[in-house]
């Protein structure tokens, strides 16, 4: 089998001609950030200040050319564009460029708003007919333990007898492969689709399986819609009771678009007890309300600290904030997860606590939350 290399990819892309200039996209310097992971290839195509829609055929041609290389299973090409002055910054400090992802969905004609101005078309929905319920795990900001909660909640749902998938929608910083101890695994293709990675009895898919760990910079920008939609629709999820989506942190446009495109049955909002995080949590709740997605409830993470030496319990960040916020916002309080070294260690070592120490107090907290989530989905 031909060994895949940057040279081979570049040689192939030299056959793709930009119709505007008549030159090939490599000579024009449009190709960057080639990442080869197993049989999966990703790279960025710079369109400068060009219109992403007009450049879609070129993106498609580049993708087709790479896909045609023997040994290539999938190709993901992102259009990257210079940000226009005054446009909105993405959350989380991923600025510099705006990157337009591609979508397999048809581009519909722009809508005419009552004022005569053109409103953007509603984003096309992603359908997953074999998945009974999709739940989003979200947080208003990063670092509150959203991914830790997502992975342990998924495992707790599995423990309660559900068939579960976990989709890591955090393109900027995928952490699920590491948290599931599956970082070294490569998804295999079956026909045209990619099979999810199996870990601890759940199916998982993440951009982290497809790109190098230090490569996420090429995904920077507010719109990675194409890559994200592929994680939903180009993956063999099979029959699932619940697909848990670990949402990207924040409540910006990208999150809103994702929430609109995916038929989410309910959202779980993760917050730490600090006031500021709760303000962010409120923003998360508002975002889902805007797109009429039911809120299953709030999880307070890093809640109480049980000192392993003296046995005392301390509410380092204050007590009861999430519970009070939940009440105020007429939302369910799903439970609190203690701040505990064992959670950090197991989560960071790829041995999530629900799977590796299911009888621990910490694992039980996740299982309680999973029970409430199941009840919430039924109601």
Q: How many CB atoms lie within 10 A of CB 339?
A: 21
Question: Closest CB to ligand ADP belongs to which residue?
Answer: 145
**Which residue, 54 or 341, is less far from ligand ADP as judged by CB?**
341
- Name the site residues for ligand ADP (rule: CB under 6 A): 139, 142-148, 175, 249, 301-302, 337, 339-340, 343-344, 347-348
Give the separation between CA 368 and CA 320, rounded to whole angstroms: 18
Of 2, 33, 40, nearest to 194 (Cα)? Answer: 40
Contact 321, 278 (CB under 8 A): yes
**Which residue, 266 or 273, is less far from ligand ADP as judged by CB?**
273
Q: Answer left, alpha or beta for residue 362, where phi above 0 means left and psi between -120 and 50 means alpha.
A: alpha
Q: Which two tokens stand for residue 155?
A: 């495992």
Q: How far is the CB of 92 from ligand ADP (least distance, A)?
A: 10
Tell me the pairing of strands 266-271 and 131-138.
Answer: parallel
Q: How far is the CB of 173 from ligand ADP (least distance, A)?
A: 7
Q: How far is the CB of 374 from ligand ADP (least distance, A)?
A: 22
Q: How far is the CB of 298 from ligand ADP (least distance, A)?
A: 14
**Which residue, 139 or 255, is less far from ligand ADP as judged by CB?**
139
Terminal Cα-to-Cα distance of the chain (whole angstroms): 53
Q: How many CB atoms lie within 10 A of CB 309?
A: 5
**Which residue, 40 or 139, is less far from ligand ADP as judged by CB?**
139
Q: How far is the CB of 265 from ligand ADP (least distance, A)?
A: 21
**Which residue, 123 or 321, is less far from ligand ADP as judged by CB?**
321
Q: Report which secondary-structure segment, H or E, holds 190.
A: strand 189-190
């Amino acid at each position: 089998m031909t060994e895949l290399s940057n040279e081979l990819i570049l040689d192939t892309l030299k056959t793709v001609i930009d119709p505007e200039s008549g030159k090939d996209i490599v000579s024009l310097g449009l190709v960057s950030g080639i990442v080869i992971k197993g049989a999966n290839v990703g790279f960025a195509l710079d369109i400068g200040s060009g219109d992403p829609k007009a450049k879609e055929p070129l993106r498609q041609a580049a993708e087709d050319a790479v896909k045609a290389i023997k040994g290539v299973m999938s190709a993901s090409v992102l259009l990257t564009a210079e940000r226009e002055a005054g446009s909105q910054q993405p959350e989380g400090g991923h600025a510099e460029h705006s990157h337009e992802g591609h979508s397999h969905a048809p581009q519909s004609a722009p809508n005419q708003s009552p004022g005569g101005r053109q409103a953007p078309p509603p984003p096309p929905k992603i359908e997953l007919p074999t998945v009974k319920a999709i739940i989003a795990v979200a947080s208003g900001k990063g670092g509150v333990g959203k991914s830790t909660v997502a992975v342990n909640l998924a495992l707790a749902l599995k423990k309660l007898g559900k068939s579960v998938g976990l989709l890591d929608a955090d393109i900027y910083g995928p952490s699920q492969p590491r948290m599931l101890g599956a970082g070294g695994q490569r998804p295999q293709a079956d026909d045209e689709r990619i099979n999810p990675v199996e870990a601890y009895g759940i199916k998982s898919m993440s951009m982290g399986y497809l790109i190098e760990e230090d490569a996420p910079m090429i995904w920077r920008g507010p719109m990675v819609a194409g890559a994200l939609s592929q994680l939903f629709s180009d993956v063999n999820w099979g029959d699932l009771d619940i697909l848990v989506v670990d949402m990207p942190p924040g409540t910006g446009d990208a999150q809103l678009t994702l929430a609109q495109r995916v038929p989410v049955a309910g959202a779980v909002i993760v917050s730490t007890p600090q006031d500021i995080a709760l303000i962010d949590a409120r923003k998360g709740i508002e975002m889902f309300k805007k797109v009429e997605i039911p809120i299953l409830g709030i999880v307070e993470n890093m809640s109480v600290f049980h000192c392993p030496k003296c046995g005392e319990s301390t509410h380092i960040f204050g007590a009861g904030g999430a519970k009070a916020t939940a009440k105020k916002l007429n939302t369910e309080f799903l439970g609190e997860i203690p701040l505990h070294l064992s959670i950090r260690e197991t989560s960071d070592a790829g041995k999530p606590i629900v799977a590796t120490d299911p009888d621990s107090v910490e694992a039980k907290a996740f299982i309680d939350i999973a029970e409430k989530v199941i009840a919430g989905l039924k109601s």
